[in-house]
Amino acid sequence: MPLLSVTDLRTYFHTRSGVYRAVDGVDFALERGETLGIVGESGSGKSVTCYSLMGLVPQPPGRIESGTAVFDGVDLLHCSPREARGIRGKRIAMIFQDPMTSLNPYLRISTQLMEPLLIHEKISRKEAERRALAMLESVGLHDAGRRFHQYPHEFSGGMRQRVMIAMALITRPELLIADEPTTALDVTVQAQILELIKATQQELGMAVIFITHDLAVASGLCDRVQVMYAGRIVETAGTETLFRQPRHPYTRALQRSIPALQPKGAELYTIAGLPPDVSKPIRGCAFAPRCEYVAERCRTLVPPLLEVAPGHAQACLRAQAGEI
């Protein structure tokens, strides 16, 4: 049985200017110890998918319209708040993009690190302090003893992200959701943080959902990658397969627009047009208006996500028919 299985998740935002279908029918499963990458452009619904699981979607305006998310036998979307609290923050932890705004500037690092332990585990303050300090050392913070009682503003961006990771890992979660954890960081610091996530994952044997817009970051870290577009999954496959034989036109286009993979100075491949407005109902395939292989039926039929090879599913009618 998978650790987490999400079926038909739909999260809509009801605003004055219309209903935004941020996540519109997402299915996926995650095994224990697996690393899943979710890749997509801004507005593709990759973050909202995970926020829905963590109960972080502001309601209203957000509403989870349908779906289940079963984590180890418990449906996170329909369980009691009490049950949910026992799982979120303990067995599932999350780290966010911006370490500058996701730590509380009024509280010492020590207080923030110990909080999950004091809430979720029957543990003395002294013991909590010992474990928090050990955790801080294991995420590679130099001089952890002195830094333990400092405030967030005394840390640099990379160090704050380390503190965030320590906070997330302190309860030894089975699933870590990382929402663009390195986007705000420099490449050299990004490399440090990616290594750290890899190392701790091996040590704790936890599963990771890694949200990113950077295909390159996903390629190095993830076992499996799923690509999202306009609130739906358009392709999912093992990392190797997804990069070697992408089938969906959007995945191909995304890959072709990375400068690193193209000859120097050549005209970069671009995807024409803009992502669709998810506040309007989309007929047919959401990518059809920008797709270079578009056929008449793409504009009317919604392509289902079908498995084309073991572990490789994609949602393009023409690719499924073997036409492209």
Contact residues for other proteins (CB under 8 A)?
41-42, 142, 156-159, 186-192, 194-195, 213-217, 219-220, 239-240, 243, 253-255, 257-262, 264-265, 267-271, 274
Record the tokens describing residue 198, joined without a space. Answer: 């890899």
- Looking up tokens 């599963």 gives 207
Nearest distance, CB of residue 259 and other proteins, angstroms: 4
Query: Residues 148-153: contacts with CB within 8 Å, 24+ apart?
Result: 148/108, 148/109, 148/110, 149/108, 149/109, 149/110, 150/108, 150/109, 151/105, 151/106, 151/107, 151/108, 151/109, 152/103, 152/104, 152/105, 152/109, 153/105
Q: Residue count of the chain, please give it.
A: 324
Record the tokens describing residue 47, joined without a space. Answer: 């973050």
Dist CA 324 CA 313 (whole Å):
15
Nearest distance, CB of residue 216 and other proteins, angstroms: 4
Nearest distance, CB of residue 90 and other proteins, angstroms: 30
Distances (CA, A) of 114 to 58, 66, 181, 303, 311: 26, 35, 21, 47, 40
Q: Which is nearer to other proteins, 121 or 214 (CB)?
A: 214
**Sheet containing 35-39, strands listed edge to edge, beginning at the edge strand earlier in sequence:** 92-95, 175-179, 207-212, 35-39, 224-229, 232-238, 312-314, 306-309
Q: Which is nearer to other proteins, 233 or 254 (CB)?
A: 254
Q: Which is nearer to other proteins, 51 or 250 (CB)?
A: 250
Dist CA 287 CA 274 (whole Å):
10
Record the tokens describing residue 106, joined without a space. Answer: 């009024």
Q: Which is nearer to other proteins, 143 or 296 (CB)?
A: 143
Distances (CA, A) of 148 to 101, 117, 307: 19, 16, 49
Strands 232-238, 224-229: pairing kind: antiparallel
Q: Which of 266, 298, 293 is nearest to 283 (CA)?
A: 298
Q: Which is nearer to other proteins, 3 or 230 (CB)?
A: 230
Q: Which is nearer to other proteins, 77 or 185 (CB)?
A: 185
Cβ-count burial 206-229 (b if 16+ within 10 Å, e if not)? bbbbbbbbebebbbebbbbbbbbb
Q: Which is nearer to other proteins, 122 or 146 (CB)?
A: 146
Q: Which is nearer to other proteins, 53 or 286 (CB)?
A: 286
Dist CA 276 CA 65 (whole Å):
21
Q: Which is nearer to other proteins, 23 or 194 (CB)?
A: 194
Cβ neighbours of 139 (radius 10 Å): 23
Nearest distance, CB of residue 104 and other proteins, angstroms: 22
Nearest distance, CB of residue 105 and other proteins, angstroms: 19
Nearest distance, CB of residue 95 and other proteins, angstroms: 18
